[in-house]
Amino acid sequence: MFALQGDVREHAHVLEALGAQTRPVRRATDLAGLDGIVLPGGESSVMDRLARIVGLKEPLAAALRAGLPAYGTCAGLIMLARRIQNPAPDQGTLEVLDVTVRRNAFGAQAASFEADLHVPAVSADPVHAVFIRAPAVLALGEAGGDGADVEVLASVPASGLSVDPAGLGLDAGARLPVAVRQGHVLATSFHPEVTGDWSFHRAFLAGL
């Protein structure tokens, strides 16, 4: 568990209830022997800054590039993404998931919402999702590319964005990915650790 900031306890509870052993990752030395890592929801700019301060960011990025499986939720999705469309000052990422994301895409805390998503890759039943200051994936791959190896698992209407989709170059009827997978990296805009629907955690553990 990436444990410098965010919903660490909630994710640990889910993973342990599903039979996994967890431990906090706060330094580069904590990466040794991991089968996979979860990057929780929280504040992505703070997570990035703290990871740089303690010397964890580059070793973690290197481990991910070398194949360490990862699951990022909300801020964790932002941390994993290659590009942020509206970063905080000096904010960077781990640059391992080939998508462009927008922070707080659906609005502030007061604009939080819930939705039932059709995600056949992880569950035959609808997945209940809670979006809290959630990011959205605006594009797959590099500018002008198609992100062919990024699999979209779930999406929501772009009309739910807190800004006019046209201002982002999107059609009002477009759908935006909120759950994606690229190789060994899984990420969601929402917080399954707080809903009781553990489909994504099960899918992540099954891939380890």
Over the stretch 183-194, which tens digit does the pLDDT of each residue have? 999 999 999 999
Catalytic residue among 10, 16, 58, 74, which?
74
Contact 141, 148 (CB under 8 A): yes
Phi, psi of 4 (to 5 degrees): -80, -25
The answer to whether residue 180 sits within a structural domain is yes
Question: Is the residue at 93 inside a domain?
Answer: yes
Q: What is the largest CA-CA distance in the chain?
A: 47
Give the residue numbers spanning the domain of 137: 8-206
Do the annotations mark residue 42 as ligand-binding? yes
> 118 catalytic, yes or no?
no
Distance CA 107, CA 109 (A): 7
Taking a C-beta distance cutoff of 8 angstroms, is the pair 39, 76 a contact? yes
167 phi and psi angles, rounded to 5 deg: -70, -15
Question: Is residue 52 situated within a structural domain?
Answer: yes
Residue 151 falls inside a structural domain: yes
Name the pLDDT band for 108 (thresholds 50, 70, 90): confident
| The pLDDT of residue 147 | 57
Q: Are 197 and 10 in contact (CB under 8 A)?
A: no
CATH code of the domain in which 132 resides: 3.40.50.880
Instruction: Tell me, yes or no, whether 189 lies in a domain.
Output: yes
Q: Does the annotation mark 16 as catalytic?
A: no
Query: What pLDDT is attached to residue 145?
Result: 47
Residue 3 domain flag: no
Active site residue 11: no
Find out whether 202 is annotated in a ligand binding site. Answer: no
Judge whether 1 lies within some domain.
no
46-96 per-position pLDDT tens digit: 999 999 999 999 999 999 999 999 999 999 999 999 999 999 999 999 999
Write out pLDDT tens, residues 122-171.
999 999 999 999 999 999 986 444 556 999 999 999 988 888 888 888 88
Do the domain assignments include residue 2? no
| Domains contained in the chain, number | 1
